[in-house]
Structure 1
Amino acid sequence: MCRTLTAFPTACLERAKEFKTRLGIFLHKSELGSDPASVGKFERGSKHSKEGRNFSEDVLGWRESFDLLLSSKNGVAAFHAFLKTEFSEENLEFWLACEEFKKIRSAAKLASRAQRIFEEFIISEAPKEVNIDHETRELTRTNLQAATATCFDVAQGKTRTLMEKDSYPRFLKSPAYQDLATQAVATSASPSSCSVAEPFHT
């Protein structure tokens, strides 16, 4: 995983540059396409999204708290794009999958989806294995024996804490976000900054 700018391989730097360029373009155009993947699903389901805020206000809100970032449709997509440059997007994808999982009402679907999430993110050597301790992994495995909407709560909580303490500060300090925030400050002071942004594709 890329931890510092100097440690980034060329491909990683190119992805970071693409993220920065893409967000800059989105800020000016405010014409953003929706993400059909899990991020998009979360956006539609989030009751906390600030639908009435324009893009500049939204961007500046991301640095206020991790909760505000996660409650923003554009914030989730931007953070996801950043995590891709660090090859750690599985953490957010797992968190989002858990949010969707909690909405399932059918017991049969709950059990089936729980198994898929476990195999995709939790089990050792999973395709998108998240960084959790052995005890949490085993607790989650036990919870799946009688799957409920809360069976991933401990693992989700630990993954969220990891993102908040580790990835989120780096996201805020990244050149991409710093430049975006600077542009947002300038744009929010402009009369043309009143349009409401739509979620963008990552």
Structure 2
Amino acid sequence: MCKGLSYLPSSCLEKAKEMRVKLSHLAETHHKNKTQDGRILQDLETLLNSKSGLQAFRAFLRSEFSEENLQFWLACEDYRVSPSNLQKTKACSIYNQFINPDAPLEVNLDAETREALLSVMDSPCPKTFNKAQQRIYSLMAKDSFPRFLRSHHCMEAVKAF
């Protein structure tokens, strides 16, 4: 179990504080530049809307064998803007690829959300995956994104600016 930060050597804690200050400073500096890629560290939404940020985040998730969350989120974004005549086909594809318990890229969703999706697969609409997509986004924002900020993938992306 986690014993808290008090068990870490003070040198590690100081190093972590220094890194956080540097990352915050970089984020502020890039934010002031008002460039899309410069705001890579601001939040997950900004990262996902940045081509280079998205590439760095994808590489990080791939290294952790958890790229399916991002793939699902992107598939939902694509689905939302799809013409209505393609929605049923795309909805079935997303369900089979990410939601079905035997899916090759199964994402971590609660049973209630899975059941709700299964019940609307016959007549999907543009908002069909909104709740599931939001749950996966929250998972990435709370779990993957903070780890990404501490990763070498993030450091490399920052250096590229």
What TM-score comes out, normalization by structure 2 length? 0.74
Task: Note the alpha carbon deviations across 1:120-156, whole angstroms, 9 max, x for none.
Answer: 0000020000011111111111121211111111110
Contact 2:60/2:148 (CA < 8 Å) preserved in 1?
yes
Contact 2:97/2:105 (CA < 8 Å) preserved in 1?
yes
**For 1:180 and 1:127, how far apart are their aligned partners in 2?**
29
Contact 2:52/2:157 (CA < 8 Å) preserved in 1?
no
SS at 2:155's partner residue? helix
* Residue of 50, 53, 70 corresponding to 1:75: 53
- Would the alpha carbon gap of residues 179 and 73 (structure 1) be closer, same or farther in structure 2, given more than 3 Å must change? closer
Q: Which ranges in structure 2 are unaligned for 5 or more consecutive residues?
A: 1-33
* Residue of 159, 163, 167 corresponding to 2:136: 159
Shift of 1:176: 3.0
The aligned residue for residue 115 of structure 1 is: 92
**For 1:180 and 1:154, how far apart are their aligned partners in 2?**
30
Alignment of 1:37-186 (within 5 A): 53=35, 58=37, 60-107=38-85, 109-181=86-158, 183-184=159-160
Higher helix content, 1 or 2? 2
Task: Percent identity, please.
Answer: 41
What TM-score comes out, normalization by structure 1 length? 0.59
SS at 2:121's partner residue? helix
Structure whose alpha-carbon radius of gyration is higher: 2
- Would the alpha carbon gap of residues 113 and 180 (structure 1) be closer, same or farther in structure 2, given more than 3 Å must change? closer
Shift of 1:175: 2.5
SS at 1:146's partner residue? coil
- List, as ranges, runs of 4+ consecutive aligned residues in structure 1 with deviation greater than 3 Å: none
**For 2:104 and 2:157, how far apart are their aligned partners in 1?**
32
Q: Which ranges in structure 1 are unaligned for 5 or more consecutive residues?
A: 1-51, 188-202
